[in-house]
């Protein structure tokens, strides 16, 4: 009996040893690179180089260094005999108690408060007594254009005064027939022609030098019948602007105001007690879109007659209606009177010739055709569309897309 048990034990040992030998043969049959893993991330800094090398027939790694043709050296994996464990045995009489799970109470997640750029909101204000505002004292200390006569070009009584060209403007006056329409042409350093139609009445008028430093040419033309004009006076001069803002802090032919004007007095009243530029912009913006309506009749007349238009801000404020040019001119005038640089822009929104404004603040820099920040970008500062849409979301979305605007002239 003992001999039989010994024989059985010997057979079991032989069986186990033969199984281990077969397991080692199977493991060695696995390819050597099967355990090699790809990196989690691949640099794309030199994708252009990689593509170039690939086209040339050689490979490159992500740092641009050529990979040698020889295969990567790999070490054979270590082999290890599998461990065998005796199976667990359980008495038939043993019963397993049902598993009891304790519910886990999870503390509520606390998220940090999101930070968002300040949004310009409509200011809360009492009813406005405009008559009282217009009767108030003139606004003192506003930058106003002047013609000191230091650098001039003259022809008879006609004068081009560019003494203050470093401030971003040139002054011009002339005598002529009251029934004629004269043309002042300003050619910018970039070769853009700015043409102004004007009558002879009035003294000096200011025209902006709005395209930066460089050489400008200003010419006064007299009508000679039909579409023919003859040059009366011309001056060419070099401009070195004092800074990028100065041209957009003065009144000019299209943005005309003074300390006695309704625009300046309204701006001062609406922003009294405010320190931040964004609060002031908000007050001006909402005054314009809530008090000025679009004049479709005037727009139709100007279109039919192919006529030019010069904003009359005193008349605009009194009548409470105007075209897009008037909206932009009024807002620019009010902001400039507060010392906030603003550009009156002409250009296209799609296929429509339009006017809008850009502003500058110390907090934001130039805000190009935008007014409110939604956490990602500013909304376009286009008072006409905002007024006619009464803040319609679809139109405001269109306004907020800067690709819809293409600037042509800057004043």
pLDDT digits (tens, 9 = 90+) for 55-91: 333 333 333 333 333 333 434 444 444 444 444 444 4
Same domain, 398 and 308: yes
Total domain count, the chain: 2
What is residue 144's DSSP assignment?
-
Residue 358 inside a domain? The answer is yes
**Residues 263 and 391 placed together within one structural domain of the fold:** yes
Look up tokens 């009489």; give the residue: 93
- Answer yes or no: do 238 and 256 share one domain: no
pLDDT at 223: 93
Query: Given its phi and psi angles, is residue 191 left (phi above 0), alpha (psi -120 to 50 degrees) or beta?
Result: left
In this structure, what CATH number is given to the domain that contains residue 275?
A: 3.10.620.30
The verdict on 183 and 261 lying in the same domain is no
Q: Which residues contact 343 (CB under 8 A, 6 or more apart)?
A: 210, 248, 332, 357, 358, 359, 410, 411
- Residue in the structure block whose two tokens are 């319609």: 392
User: Of 218, 243, 268, which one is at a domain's C-terminal end?
Assistant: 243
Which residue numbers in the chain have pLDDT < 50? 16-100, 102-119, 371-381
Q: Quick check: 51 and 31 in contact, CB under 8 A?
A: no
> Is 301 a member of any domain?
yes
**What local confidence, expressed as pLDDT, does residue 268 receive?**
97
Question: H helices of 141-295, where?
Answer: 262-270, 277-291
**How far is the C-alpha of 183 from the C-alpha of 197, rounded, in Å?**
5
pLDDT at 276: 86
Report pLDDT for 58. 35
> For residues 218 and 207, is the Cβ–Cβ distance under 8 A?
yes
DSSP letter, residue 385: H
In eight-state DSSP terms, residue 1 is: -
Instruction: Examine residue 71 and state whether it is found in any structural domain, yes or no.
Output: no
Place of tokens 């005309």: 256
DSSP reduced 3-state for 104: coil
The answer on 400 and 324 residing in a single domain is: yes
Residue 35 burial class via C-beta count within 10 angstroms: exposed 0-12, middle 13-18, buried 19 and up = exposed
What b/e readout covers 165-182, taking b as 16+ CB neighbours within 10 angstroms? bbbbbbbbbbebeeeeeb
Asked if residue 14 belongs to a domain, the reply is no
In this structure, the answer to whether residues 329 and 377 fall within a common structural domain is yes
For the chain, how long is the longest CA-to-CA vector? Answer: 145
User: What b/e readout covers 285-319, taking b as 16+ CB neighbours within 10 angstroms?
Assistant: bbbbbeebebbeeeeeeeeeeeeebebebeebbee
* Beta-bridge partner residues of 231: 221
Closest CA to 330 of 264, 233, 260: 264
181 with 277, same domain: the answer is no
Interatomic CA distance for residues 358 and 247, integer angstroms: 13
* End residue of a domain, out of 243, 265, 284: 243
Report if residue 4 sits inside a domain: no
Both tokens assigned to 313: 């801000």
Same domain, 299 and 368: yes
What tokens were used for 293? 């309506």
CA distance 161 to 3: 131
Question: At which of 211, 243, 275 does a domain end?
Answer: 243
pTM of the model: 0.65
Q: Is residue 227 a part of any domain in this protein?
A: yes
**Residues 394, 276: one domain?**
yes
Answer whether residue 195 is part of any domain: yes
- In order of 17, 279, 286, 336, 362, the CA distances from 121 in angstroms are 85, 8, 9, 21, 19
Contact between 53 and 47 under an 8 Å Cβ cutoff? The reply is: no
Return phi, psi of residue 8, to 5°.
Answer: -65, -40
Task: Give yes or no: residues 204 and 270 share one domain.
Answer: no
Could you tell me if residue 87 is inside a domain?
no
Domain that holds residue 182: 152-243
Do residue 309 and residue 170 come from a single domain?
Answer: no
Kindly give the residue spans of alpha helices, DSSP state H, lying in 140-276: 262-270
CATH number of 180's domain:
2.60.40.10
- Count Cα atoms within 13 angstroms, Cβ side, for 400: 15
Q: Are residues 302 and 325 in the same domain?
A: yes
Q: At what angle do helices 262-270 and 277-291 cross, to 10 degrees?
A: 120
């Amino acid at each position: 009996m003992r001999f039989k048990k010994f024989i059985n034990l010997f057979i079991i040992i032989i069986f186990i040893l033969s199984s281990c030998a077969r397991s080692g043969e199977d493991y060695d049959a696995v390819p050597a690179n099967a355990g090699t893993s790809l990196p989690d991330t691949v640099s794309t800094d030199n994708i252009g180089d990689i593509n170039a090398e690939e086209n040339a027939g050689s490979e490159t790694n992500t740092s641009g260094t050529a990979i040698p043709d020889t295969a990567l050296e790999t070490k054979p994996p270590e082999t290890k005999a599998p461990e065998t464990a005796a199976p667990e045995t359980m008495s038939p009489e043993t019963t397993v108690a049902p598993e009891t799970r304790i519910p886990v109470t999870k503390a509520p997640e606390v998220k940090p408060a999101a930070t968002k750029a300040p949004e310009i909101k409509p200011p809360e204000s009492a009813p406005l007594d405009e008559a009282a505002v217009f009767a108030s004292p003139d606004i003192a200390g506003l930058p106003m254009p002047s013609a000191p006569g230091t650098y001039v070009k003259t022809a008879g009584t006609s004068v081009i005064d560019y003494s203050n060209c470093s401030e971003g403007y040139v002054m011009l006056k002339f005598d002529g027939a009251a029934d004629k329409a004269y043309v002042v042409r300003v050619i910018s350093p970039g070769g853009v022609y700015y043409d102004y139609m004007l009558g002879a009445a009035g003294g000096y008028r200011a025209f902006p030098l709005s395209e930066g430093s460089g050489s400008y040419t200003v010419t006064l033309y007299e009508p000679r019948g039909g579409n023919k004009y003859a040059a009366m006076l011309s001056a060419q001069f070099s401009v070195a602007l004092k800074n990028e803002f100065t041209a957009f802090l003065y009144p000019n032919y299209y943005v005309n105001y003074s300390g006695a004007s309704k625009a300046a007095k309204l701006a001062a009243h609406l922003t009294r007690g405010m320190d931040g530029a964004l609060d002031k912009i908000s007050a001006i913006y909402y005054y314009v879109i809530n008090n000025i309506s679009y004049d479709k009749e005037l727009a139709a007349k100007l279109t039919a007659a192919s006529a030019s238009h010069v904003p009359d801000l005193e008349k605009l404020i009194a009548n409470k209606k105007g075209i897009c040019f008037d909206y932009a001119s009024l807002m620019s005038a009010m902001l400039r009177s507060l010392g906030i640089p603003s550009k009156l822009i002409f250009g296209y929104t799609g296929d429509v010739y339009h006017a809008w404004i850009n502003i500058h603040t110390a907090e934001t820099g130039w805000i190009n055709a935008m007014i409110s920040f939604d956490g990602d970008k500013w909304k376009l500062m286009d008072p006409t569309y905002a007024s006619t849409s009464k803040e319609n979301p679809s139109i405001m979305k269109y306004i907020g897309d800067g690709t819809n605007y293409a600037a042509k002239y800057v004043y």
